A = this chain, B = another copy of it.
């Protein structure tokens, strides 16, 4: 079978990049060659992959020659500056950053929801924000069955969403708090140890933060429904990994908890854990390292006749980032193989 020639991972040494590399190995992603790239700071370090060591190359504007597919996990400014050079060099790019997501020429893809969108656009395919991805997976089966009109979401977000330094800040800040000593946080505005911080990102329209507005705009784009009314509050809590969300939806017709449970359970990539009396519901501790979106506490919204409430947990580094990107890569790879196979007959 024809396979991709060369795949590149940009940001391969970061919190998400490391998992992308692991997933490419574990999921036996097919390509003839792999290249791992990162900033000058990390260039030269070694990455073990499929039984050998790869040297990390420095990301430059002329590094993209020969790459067919690039998976990039970088800050927004790096994605803005470098990725056009990747597409100009002929690569298809799957981008984890926030920079390209709302560009009308860039599809925003969750493979369980809108896989066909991955084959449109200008060469860049965006993967959504972590807190959006798990929510939109949960919303999709409800939306298909009963049209979601309104969403109110509150997040409980892990520090790993702030990168490797986010995790270091939590661990070192917590040790300091337990010892009664001081720790100088590097990525958080306020101490995160034993605290909750209702701000993720800068302030955008009407006092909402960038993280909150991503949940509005990206959800509408992925579901292809600009009429969906969404309000989010995004909160950082002292959890190392996995975002949790309380989600309240209003649908066009009432969806009973039993129906919702069935809709969720039969949707790809969702696992229902819902038996509160026996202590069964998703928690970050249980969902970390998993690729699925977990849902529990499914119940009628007591405050609205067409309302439904539930609790949604997912590994923000995996389905919220690396897993979703690799799933998009798998979509492209399968189509690529088909095309090459068709050409060769």
A150 to B285 Cα, complex, angstroms: 33
Interface code A267-301, partner B: CB below 8 Å = 1, 0 otherwise? 00000000011010101110000000000111111
A252 to B14 Cα, complex, angstroms: 49
**Residues B248 and A152 in contact, CB atoms below 8 Å apart:** yes
A156 CB contacts on chain B under 8 angstroms: 156, 196, 235, 237
Closest B residue, CB atoms, query A157: B196
Kindly state the interface size class of chain A when it binds its partner: 35 or more
Does A224 belong to the interface (CB within 8 Å)?
A: no
**Residues A277 and B203 in contact, CB atoms below 8 Å apart:** yes
**Residues B208 and A302 in contact, CB atoms below 8 Å apart:** yes
**Residues B190 and A244 in contact, CB atoms below 8 Å apart:** no
Does A23 belong to the interface (CB within 8 Å)?
A: no
Does A102 belong to the interface (CB within 8 Å)?
A: no
Q: How many copies does the complex hold?
A: 2
Q: Which of B238, B248, B299, B301 contacts A238 (CB 8 A)?
A: B238
A231 CB contacts on chain B under 8 angstroms: 248, 301-304, 307, 309
Q: Which of A33-41, A44-52, A107-115, A170-178 contacts B (4 or more CB under 8 A)?
A: A170-178
Chain B proximity of A119: nearest CB distance (Å): 32
Q: Which of B152, B174, B190, B279 contacts A152 (CB 8 A)?
A: B152
Chain B proximity of A325: nearest CB distance (Å): 25
Does A146 belong to the interface (CB within 8 Å)?
A: no
Q: A231-B302, A231-B309, A237-B156 known; A283 and B196 CB under 8 Å?
A: yes
Closest B residue, CB atoms, query A305: B229
Does A191 belong to the interface (CB within 8 Å)?
A: yes
**Residues A207 and B299 in contact, CB atoms below 8 Å apart:** yes
Closest B residue, CB atoms, query A241: B194
A174 CB contacts on chain B under 8 angstroms: 174, 178
A190 to B206 Cα, complex, angstroms: 38
**Residues B237 and A207 in contact, CB atoms below 8 Å apart:** no
**Residues A276 and B207 in contact, CB atoms below 8 Å apart:** yes
Chain B proximity of A293: nearest CB distance (Å): 15
Instruction: Across the A-B interface, give the 3 residue pairs with the lowest CB-CB distance, nearest first.
Output: A229-B303, A207-B299, A154-B154
- Give residues in A with beta carbon < 8 Å to B: 150-152, 154, 156, 170-171, 174-175, 178, 189-191, 194-199, 202-203, 206-209, 216, 229-231, 233, 235, 237-240, 244, 246, 248, 257, 276-277, 279, 281, 283-285, 296-304, 307, 309, 311
